[in-house]
Amino acid sequence: MTDGIAAPSTPVHAEQEAFRQSLAAAVTTFLARQRSILSSVSPDSAVLVDSIERLTAGGKKLRPLLCYWGWRGAGGTAGDDGIVTAGLSLELFQAAALMHDDIIDRSDFRRGAPSVHKQFEKLHADGGWHLDGQRFGSAAAILAGDLCLSISEEAFAAIAAPIPALQSARSIFNRMRTEVMAGQYLDLLEEAVGPDRRPADAVERALGIVRFKSAKYSVEHPLCIGGALAGADPALLASYSAFALPLGEAFQLRDDLLGVYGDPAVTGKPAGDDLREGKRTVLIAKALQASHRDESRALNAGLGKAGLTDDEVNHLRDIIDRSGAREEVEALIAELARSSHTALETLSVDPLSREALTALAEATVSRVS
């Protein structure tokens, strides 16, 4: 079982692959149309779509797949064009979030390749252009992300479904977008204020960021959007949330561990990237609370420090390890996974959808990249 896909030749695998292929074709067609529009403005502006196309070519397609199985579990038919368009919209929204997130976090790599703002920075350098290449790269990536947000909305508005179902899905989609922006701001605020902001509440605040910056938009809302488009009643949508929200929180907590301990060859990011970015995650909050005063000060001083060396990253990891925070986060992931699994067992969905959601849940919690 890989990336949430059942073993080859199973019905789940076959249906997921068919959806992935339909989604890839929809992305290609949709972006070709956007490229044509931009080229009619100026051939120079088409590079914005190129950056979107490169980014959407990768990734595990977790959000579209959850949306698809939310649809199927609520009685939606396989191969429906509307659910493919919903998956397209979620992919574009995710691309926008990644572009902007990498600028905010000063992250130079994404999925083993230069981040979009670094790609535009290289374009500036290769062209021998004037003024500040770094500023150009960030500004161009912001515009590419804004374009992604715009066309994500365009794609969502094109979904073909009965009006009541569209209204229900639209309400979830709109809330998702607002919550992500709030969660992203809270994450930025936590980094800026640092250790001086109510240390006793740091874990609770970090868990809130996990929920609204990632868990809801990565897992809960995509699943519920798919269900709503298929006409799911409030009871089924509530059951979807009970399964998906703890799973989404486990997903982000795993991501936080990978940001400190992940293998760069697998994650596609430098070792200890979250430490260099100064991320105040649940892992860090727990480590600061449990560490002795000197080590807590050293961890605070190292977080986000410019030019943090590999030796310094290893020293900060050692502090976290000695605090027991890594084991605590692993235990929290396991607890959330159990809660999600219990909710999954009570879901009123067909066996195929249950099998698919089980595979996605397992891959989400145990992933290494």
Q: Are 31 and 53 in contact (CB under 8 A)?
A: yes
Question: Mean pLDDT across the stretch 76-98?
Answer: 97
pLDDT at 259 over 80: yes
Q: Is 311 left (phi over 0), alpha (psi -120 to 50) or beta?
A: alpha
Asked whether the predicted pLDDT for residue 3 surpasses 60, the reply is no
The answer to whether residues 89 and 155 touch, using CB atoms and an 8 Å cutoff, is yes
Whole-prediction pTM: 0.93
Percentage of the chain with pLDDT > 70? Answer: 97
Gap between the Cα atoms of 96 and 91, Å rounded: 9
List the structure tokens of 192: 């800026």
Q: Are 190 and 208 in contact (CB under 8 A)?
A: no
109 phi and psi angles, rounded to 5 deg? -130, 145
**205-255 pLDDT tens trace:** 999 999 999 999 999 999 999 999 999 999 999 999 999 999 999 999 999
Per-residue pLDDT for 9 more than 50? Answer: yes
User: Backbone phi, then psi, for 290, in 5-degree steps?
Assistant: -95, -15
Q: How far apart are CA 43 and CA 165, in angstroms?
A: 39
Closest alpha carbon to 262 in 368, 113, 367, 334: 368
What 3-state class would DSSP assign to 80?
coil
Q: Cβ-count burial of 340 within 10 angstroms (0-12 exposed, 13-18 middle, 19+ buried)? A: buried
pLDDT at 7 over 70: no
- What CATH number belongs to 11-366? 1.10.600.10
H helices present in the chain, as ranges = 11-41, 47-56, 62-73, 81-105, 116-127, 133-157, 163-193, 202-209, 221-229, 234-261, 264-267, 273-277, 282-290, 293-302, 310-323, 325-345, 351-366
Q: Report the pLDDT value the prediction gives residue 366, as an integer from 0 to 100.
A: 84
pLDDT band at 1 (very low <50, low <70, confident <90, very high): very low
pLDDT at 196: 64
